[in-house]
Amino acid sequence: MTVRAIRGATQATANTAEAITAATQELLSEILSVNSLTPEDVISVLFTASPDLNASFPAAAARELGFESTPLICSVEIDVPGALERTIRVMAHVHTALSKSEIAHIYLHAAKSLRRDIAQ
């Protein structure tokens, strides 16, 4: 096993706790599933949210998925003019047997435009 970082992003449908929770949980579930991981494999997760998302913490949604013992932190993304709105980004550090080239970075919905080169 080695330590790898997995990136991902998604777009919430609205600035509500429900929409932020749903988007975060969908993104994390997809990252885990596609990379054959469980919450126990995750060392830590850094979340960023675009400045227009402030109704809830993405980390709170992660705890509901089994990340209660995982260090989680949220931050605000840089407010770049014209950036994709309502965006949640994640960088998860994990224990995995996958090589760098085997890691699947997950970009969902409109966030696929952020990394067309690796989006699912």
| Residues 28-45 pLDDT 10s | 999 999 999 999 999 999
Residue 86 appears among annotated catalytic residues: no
Residue 64 appears among annotated catalytic residues: no
The list of the chain residues with pLDDT below 50 reads none
Indicate which residue of 40, 86, 115, 116 is catalytic: 115
Residue 68 appears among annotated catalytic residues: no
Residue 19, token pair as written in the block: 């929409």
Indicate which residue of 64, 68, 77, 102 is catalytic: 77
How many residues are present in the chain? 120
Class of CATH domain 2-115: alpha beta
pTM: 0.94
Domain ranges of the chain: 2-115
DSSP string, 10-47: EE-SSSSHHHHHHHHHHHHHHHHHHTT--GGGEEEEEE
Give the residue from 50, 76, 51, 74 showing the smallest Cα distance to 61.
74
Residue 116 appears among annotated catalytic residues: no
